[in-house]
């Protein structure tokens, strides 16, 4: 082999090596970009799944008729969102609205009717209907006075208790009774639907109008007489974040979760209807 040929081959090898270095560098950069893109997508997915929601101590003001189901829902939400703690305050919707108007610190409001929520619309985000409900006639266990329909509540010998007119359950009760032309003289008008249920449970009233879910929660103590759809009223439950919340992102996440498949499963298993 001639010296000239050897020098040519050596030069070609050096040139090839020089060309491969930038290609290798480019190949490394591409891999780095892909890794960064994958990381970004993972972060977005985590955020979308709710796992990126910051932990917080949330205070939720909720209608009394949500007492049992929200305790279950709250426990499920806390389990799915470690670090989040939910404290519920249950009362009649009119009381909750008064608390919001007075500036009581809270993060979420859930009422048993849209009119109550509308009264504090300047203090809330856009509400979302998370569930519906309907009325039944609650009687003592075994229905000892044989109450069959709304007209039976007009019997003056029957001790009937209703929610007060300013309470959503009271408004719905008046609506259905007026629609059927039934005049009822209640022995008392209570500040929440749960107070009505309690009166019937304790035997202090013979009958009362409550939500179907309330009667179901005390099925071992009261009977529920169904009211036909054509005579009934549908209660709607709107949920909204409060503008003064110090945990806006976490509050919004909880409200959204109530409409999610997980939240809806819990609500519907408790007897609430789909929104």
Report DSSP letters for 68-101, one per residue: HHHHHHHHHHHHHSTT-EEEEEEE-HHHHHHHHH
- pLDDT of res. 47: 34
pLDDT at position 21: 39
| Integer Cα distance of 238 and 129 in angstroms | 4
With a CB cutoff of 8 Å and minimum separation 6, the contacts of 261 are none
What pLDDT is attached to residue 53? 82
Spatial CA neighbour of 100 closest among 225, 200, 240: 240
User: Mean pLDDT, 10 residues at a time, over the chain (275 residues)?
Assistant: 40 40 39 35 34 87 97 97 97 97 96 97 97 98 96 97 96 97 97 97 97 96 96 97 97 98 98 96
Residues 6+ apart with CB under 8 A from 175: 233
Handedness of CA 49, 53, 57, 62 (dihedral sign): negative
pLDDT tens-digit readout, 161-190: 999 999 999 999 999 999 999 999 999 999
Q: What is the pLDDT of residue 52?
A: 75
Four-CA torsion 177, 182, 186, 190, nearest 10 degrees: 0
Domains within the chain, CATH numbers bracketed: 57-132+236-269 (3.40.190.10), 133-234 (3.40.190.10)
- Give 254-259 contacts, CB < 8 A, sequence gap 24+: 254/58, 254/60, 254/77, 254/84, 254/86, 254/107, 254/108, 255/108, 255/125, 255/128, 255/130, 257/50, 257/77, 258/73, 258/110, 258/128, 258/130, 259/128, 259/130
| CA atoms within a 13 Å half-sphere pointing along the CA-CB vector of 206 | 18
Q: How far is residue 239's CA from residue 263's CA, in Å, rounded to a whole number?
A: 13
**Nearest CA among 120, 113, 126, 147 for reference residue 215:** 147
Relative to beta strand 160-163, strand 188-190 is parallel
């Amino acid at each position: 082999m001639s010296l000239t040929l050897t020098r040519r081959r050596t030069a070609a090898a050096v040139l090839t090596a020089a060309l491969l270095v930038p290609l290798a560098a480019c190949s490394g950069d591409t891999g780095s970009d892909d890794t960064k893109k994958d990381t970004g997508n993972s972060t977005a997915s985590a955020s979308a799944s709710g796992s990126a929601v910051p932990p917080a101590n949330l205070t939720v003001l909720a209608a009394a008729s949500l007492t049992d189901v929200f305790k279950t829902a709250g426990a499920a939400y806390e389990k799915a969102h470690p670090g989040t703690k939910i404290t519920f305050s249950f009362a009649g919707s009119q009381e909750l609205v008064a608390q919001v108007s007075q500036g009581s610190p809270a993060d979420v409001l859930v009422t048993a009717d849209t009119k109550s929520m509308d009264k504090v619309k300047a203090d809330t985000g856009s509400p979302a209907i998370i569930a519906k409900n309907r009325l039944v006639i609650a009687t003592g266990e075994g229905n000892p006075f044989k109450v069959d329909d709304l007209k039976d509540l007009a019997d003056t010998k029957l001790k009937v208790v209703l929610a007060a007119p300013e309470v959503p359950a009271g408004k719905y009760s008046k609506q259905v009774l007026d629609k059927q032309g039934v005049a009822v003289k209640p022995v008392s008008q209570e500040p929440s639907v749960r107070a009505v249920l309690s009166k019937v449970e304790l035997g202090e009233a013979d009958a009362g109008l409550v939500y179907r879910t309330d009667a179901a929660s005390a099925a071992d103590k009261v009977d529920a007489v169904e009211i036909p759809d054509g005579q009934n009223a549908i209660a709607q439950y709107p949920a909204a974040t409060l503008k003064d919340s110090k945990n806006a992102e976490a509050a919004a996440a909880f409200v959204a979760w109530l409409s999610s498949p997980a939240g809806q499963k819990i609500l519907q298993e408790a007897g609430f209807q789909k929104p």
